[in-house]
């Protein structure tokens, strides 16, 4: 205790103490020039992203790191019914807007308090961490620890107010105590692509052939017009370039349409093949709270938000649904669509693409317009997420009967011919080898005959797939063997 008190007095009088044990040939830094670090304040989601905008060397030997600025949520602002949240624009993170490193390798953090971190301190070294509150710091342990699946060296620093500071040789600050009994924790490093990082354009739309998606879409004005659509499609091919990704999909759809002024509601079912093209843009390159998205109306903003999606267990990137408008020169505030004419939001998941989009437009004549699109289920790399609707949902009663019509193919194994019978209208038959090459294709068979015959003398012995395509767009596949 006497050592603490004497050291407090010495530093308070302005003496710079560099204690022994400066076994700091090790390159311990609070932040590296090129890294982008994601932090959380008592949460599993990113609440702050920090990087170095520029570095300046001063004549007195100090080095100043100017840090990123962004839209930072105001946690203490009072929010009434008509408002959603308040954000400080061009604001600094919990580390302030700059770090100053002096010649003795002390880091000075200036935010609500001035904090001093001696990242090069050795075991047992003491220094004044918070001059305003007279909080001392002491390195009580240096050890190896696995961080982001890599062995790292860390220093555990005990503070005299019983808080804990943890430093990493590779990443700088791992844990930093703040006021109000809160702590900041490192979640990820963008430079090293470790931990929780911002999903990139390529990682958001990283689908594989066979991945299946189920969406529920709706357009309605809640009175006259109502369209509801359920889509289920699978990826069958992909094309990738630097700024765009295209997928060929095969799918089924169920569409419900109700227009009161036209007639009774109508439900239709159909199969489709489509090309989905995704193009890179500013939003996909933005970091947490860094990019403030402006709409066509120049006084409306939307800060980018990074979080974890509960259903699909992925990193989610999106924007709030409400409008954000300027409040003076340094703040924006969110409204719940009132009195503004519309509001919208969207979110994308790493490896899942669009998770949800929502658009609401208030119309005085006659009713508000609402558009929704939501991913409700996905099969990705064989793993099921959410709800996967059965194929029978996308067929009418008559089509279900057609799908259930028995298919009989014989003999199997076969030699010089194949006979097949099916109790449903056909459009095409194919015989495909195991490499996907179409060997025989025909649409010129007599539908009046219950039994159809195909000459197979040209086929080599082996395994084949027999594909039957029906008038309703569905198809059936059966494995055959030629002897």
Please give the sequence-ordered ranges of beta strands (E in DSSP) within 28-163, or none if there are none.
Answer: 36-41, 48-57, 63-67, 70-73, 83-91, 98-101, 106-110, 114-118, 126-130, 135-147, 150-159
Whole-angstrom Cα distance, residue 243 to residue 44? 31
Which of 157-161, 310-314, 466-470 shows the lowest per-residue confidence on average (mean pLDDT)?
466-470
pLDDT tens for residues 413-422?
A: 888 888 877 6
Which of 183-192, 337-346, 455-464 shows the lowest per-residue confidence on average (mean pLDDT)?
337-346
Q: Residue 387 contacts by C-beta under 8 Å, 6 or more apart in sequence?
A: 214, 376, 377
Q: Where in the chain is the domain with CATH 2.60.40.1930?
A: 396-482
Instruction: pLDDT band for 20, please (50, 70, 90 cuts).
Output: very low
What pLDDT score does 261 carry?
Answer: 59
Q: Residue 121 contacts by C-beta under 8 Å, 6 or more apart in sequence?
A: 19, 21, 22, 24, 127, 137, 139, 155, 157
- In the predicted model, what is the mean pLDDT of residues 282-307? 66
Longest dimension (CA), the chain: 105
What pLDDT score does 82 carry?
Answer: 59
What pLDDT score does 166 carry?
Answer: 96
| Phi and psi at residue 114, to the nearest 5° | -95, 120
What pLDDT score does 461 carry?
Answer: 85
Whole-angstrom Cα distance, residue 229 to residue 309? 24
Find out whether 136 and 149 touch, Cβ atoms under 8 Å: no
What pLDDT score does 33 carry?
Answer: 77
Q: Which of 335, 337, 326 is nearest to 84 (CA)?
A: 335
User: Is residue 2's pLDDT more than 90?
Assistant: no
What pLDDT score does 142 carry?
Answer: 96
Whole-angstrom Cα distance, residue 403 to residue 472? 9
What pLDDT score does 246 carry?
Answer: 93
Q: Which of 66-70, 149-153, 238-242, 457-461 has the highest mean pLDDT?
A: 149-153
User: Is residue 208's pLDDT more than 80?
Assistant: yes
Which of 23-27, 213-217, 479-483 shows the lowest per-residue confidence on average (mean pLDDT)?
23-27
204: helix, coil or strand? helix
What pLDDT score does 467 carry?
Answer: 76
Q: Which of 417, 399, 423, 394 is nearest to 466 (CA)?
A: 417
User: Is residue 342's pLDDT more than 70?
Assistant: no
Whole-angstrom Cα distance, residue 129 to residue 341? 51
Find out whether 161 and 180 touch, Cβ atoms under 8 Å: no
Q: List helix spans (H) across 99-238.
A: 201-204
In order, the DSSP letters of 245-291 are EEEEEEEEEEEEEEETTT-S-EEEEEEEEEEEEEE--TGGG--TTT-
Instruction: Note the CATH number of domain 396-482.
Output: 2.60.40.1930
What pLDDT score does 4 carry?
Answer: 40
pLDDT tens for residues 110-132?
A: 766 789 999 889 999 999 999 98
Mean pLDDT of the chain: 78
């Amino acid at each position: 205790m006497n050592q603490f008190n004497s050291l407090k007095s010495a530093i308070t009088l302005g003496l710079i103490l560099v204690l022994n044990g400066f076994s700091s040939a090790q390159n311990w830094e609070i932040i590296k020039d090129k890294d982008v670090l994601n932090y959380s304040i008592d949460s599993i989601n990113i609440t702050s992203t920090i990087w170095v905008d520029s570095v300046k060397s001063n004549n007195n030997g100090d080095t100043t790191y100017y840090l990123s600025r962004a839209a930072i949520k105001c946690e203490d602002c009072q929010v009434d019914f008509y408002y959603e949240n308040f954000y400080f624009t061009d604001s600094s993170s919990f580390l302030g807007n700059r770090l100053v490193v002096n010649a003795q390798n002390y880091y000075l953090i200036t935010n609500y308090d001035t904090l001093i971190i001696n990242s090069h301190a050795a075991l047992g070294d003491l220094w004044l961490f918070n001059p305003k509150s007279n909080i001392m710091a002491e390195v009580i342990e240096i050890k190896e620890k696995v961080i982001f699946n890599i062995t790292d060296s860390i220093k555990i620093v005990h503070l005299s107010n019983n808080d804990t500071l943890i430093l990493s040789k590779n990443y700088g600050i791992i844990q930093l105590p703040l006021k109000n009994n809160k702590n900041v924790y490192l979640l990820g490093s963008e430079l090293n692509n470790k931990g929780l990082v911002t999903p990139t354009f390529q990682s958001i739309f990283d689908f594989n052939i066979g991945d299946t998606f189920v969406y529920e879409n709706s357009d309605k004005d809640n009175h006259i017009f109502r369209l509801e659509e359920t889509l289920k499609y699978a990826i069958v091919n992909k094309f990738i370039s630097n700024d765009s990704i295209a997928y060929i999909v095969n799918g089924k759809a169920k569409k419900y349409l109700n227009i009161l002024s036209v007639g009774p509601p109508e439900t239709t079912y159909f199969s489709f093949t489509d090309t989905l093209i995704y193009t890179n843009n500013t939003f996909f390159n933005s970091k947490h709270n860094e990019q403030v998205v402006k709409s066509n109306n120049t006084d409306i903003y939307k800060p980018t938000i990074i979080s974890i999606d509960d259903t699909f267990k992925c990193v989610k990137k999106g924007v709030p649904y409400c409008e954000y408008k300027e409040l003076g020169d340094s703040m924006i505030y969110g409204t719940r669509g009132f009195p503004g004419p519309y509001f919208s939001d969207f979110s994308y998941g790493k490896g899942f693409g669009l998770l949800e989009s929502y658009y609401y437009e208030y119309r005085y004549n006659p009713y508000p317009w609402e558009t929704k699109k939501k991913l409700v289920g996905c099969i990705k790399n064989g793993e099921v997420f959410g709800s996967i609707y059965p194929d029978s949902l996308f067929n009418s009663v008559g089509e279900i009967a057609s799908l259930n019509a028995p298919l009989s193919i014989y003999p199997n194994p076969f030699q010089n011919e194949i006979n097949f019978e099916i109790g449903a209208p056909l459009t095409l038959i194919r015989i495909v080898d195991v490499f996907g090459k179409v060997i025989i294709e025909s649409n010129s068979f007599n539908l009046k005959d219950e039994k159809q015959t195909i000459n197979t003398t040209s086929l080599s012995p082996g395994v084949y797939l027999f594909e039957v395509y029906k008038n309703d767009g569905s198809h059936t596949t059966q494995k055959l063997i030629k002897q």
